[in-house]
Amino acid sequence: MLDKIKTLEGYRLQALDGPLGTVKEFYFDDKHWTVRYLVVDTGSWLMGKQVLISPYAIESVNAGDRTISVRLTKAQIESSPSLDTDKPVSKQFEDSYYAYYGWPSYWDGPYAWGSFSYATEARDHWNRVRREQDEGDRHLRSSEDVTGHVIQASDGEIGHVEDFVVDEEAWTIRYMVVATRNWWPGEKVLISPMWIDRISWVDAKVFVLQTRQEIRSSPPYSDASLLERGYETLLHQHYRRQGYWDQDLAGVKHTY
């Protein structure tokens, strides 16, 4: 199921033995554009500690009552490696975090979840996954920080990142929602991370290869649009791109 990150913000998290808090934002990596952590606001519980929940722990997402159930107890989370609220996620923290829960590290392998395309596959087979230390940058970005970045087409700016559309099965960001109100008042478009040419994090700008007119003539998108496969197919055909669903079936790795 596809859903917007801003829609998921505010969902209540439910541990095996009680409520945890609410989703505040998300951390994703800019290599696979996959959500690595849900950042949880626990209210008065665990004050001063930033609680991160990996998609490995997610059991289900319920849009009806706006809850996300996780396969962890509150005691497990309370005893997990501590991350101060004023510090970024470091490699050292991730190493200790994954070792604590016994999960396979997502950076060990070519796919979005290491040796697998989906978090559930990796979680269910973690005993078969080879663990290696990776000293490289894991490219974690905050959904809150990247919101507002300018989108630069091949012939000029077209708008800014307003939201993200995430696949709740793979926990991969499938699209950026781009607001173009400074160019086409009231219009929004979807751009896949697969169509990005490069990103300047210093200038807060995302560069794509398409022209503004090519983007403007893409299938229209609105908040009320249901992101069904038929719409996605038209969108990918417009840009002459293979659908990510075909890539998943073919076992193609997602390195955007």
Output 118 or 177, whichever has higher pLDDT. Answer: 177
The two three-digit tokens of residue 3, written as one number: 């859903």
pLDDT at 224: 62
pLDDT bracket for residue 249 (50, 70, 90) = very low
pLDDT at 238: 95
Q: What is the pTM of this model?
A: 0.85
Q: Residue 172 contacts by C-beta under 8 Å, 6 or more apart in sequence?
A: 32, 33, 34, 35, 112, 166, 244, 254
pLDDT at 175: 96
pLDDT at 84: 73
pLDDT bracket for residue 82 (50, 70, 90) = confident
The two three-digit tokens of residue 248, written as one number: 């998943």
Mean pLDDT in the chain? 86
Structural domains of the chain ordered from first start: 2-140 (2.30.30.240), 147-250 (3.90.50.10)
Closest CA to 106 of 27, 211, 223, 213: 27
Give percent of the chain with pLDDT exceeding 90: 59
Element spanning 229, H or E: helix 229-238
- Choice among 7-11, 80-84, 89-93 with the minimum mean pLDDT: 80-84
Q: Are the C-beta atoms of residues 225 and 219 closer than 8 Å to each other?
A: no
Tens of pLDDT, residue by residue over 93-117, are 999 999 999 998 888 888 888 888 8
Integer Cα distance of 217 and 121 in angstroms: 38
Q: What is the mean predicted confidence (pLDDT) over 41-52?
A: 83
pLDDT at 214 over 60: yes
Q: Residue 216 contacts by C-beta under 8 Å, 6 or more apart in sequence?
A: 158, 180, 184, 187, 189
Tens of pLDDT, residue by residue over 193-205, are 999 999 998 999 9
pLDDT at 50: 79
Give percent of the chain with pLDDT exceeding 70: 86
pLDDT at 123: 67
pLDDT at 69 over 70: yes
Tens of pLDDT, residue by residue over 19-34, are 999 999 999 999 899 9
pLDDT at 85 over 80: no
pLDDT at 135 over 90: no
The two three-digit tokens of residue 105, written as one number: 């590290």
- Choice among 60-74, 78-92, 103-117, 239-253 with the minimum mean pLDDT: 239-253
Residue 226 phi, psi dihedral angles, 5° rounding: -90, 120
Integer Cα distance of 252 and 256 in angstroms: 12
Residue 92 phi, psi dihedral angles, 5° rounding: -65, -40
pLDDT at 157 over 70: yes
pLDDT at 216 over 50: yes
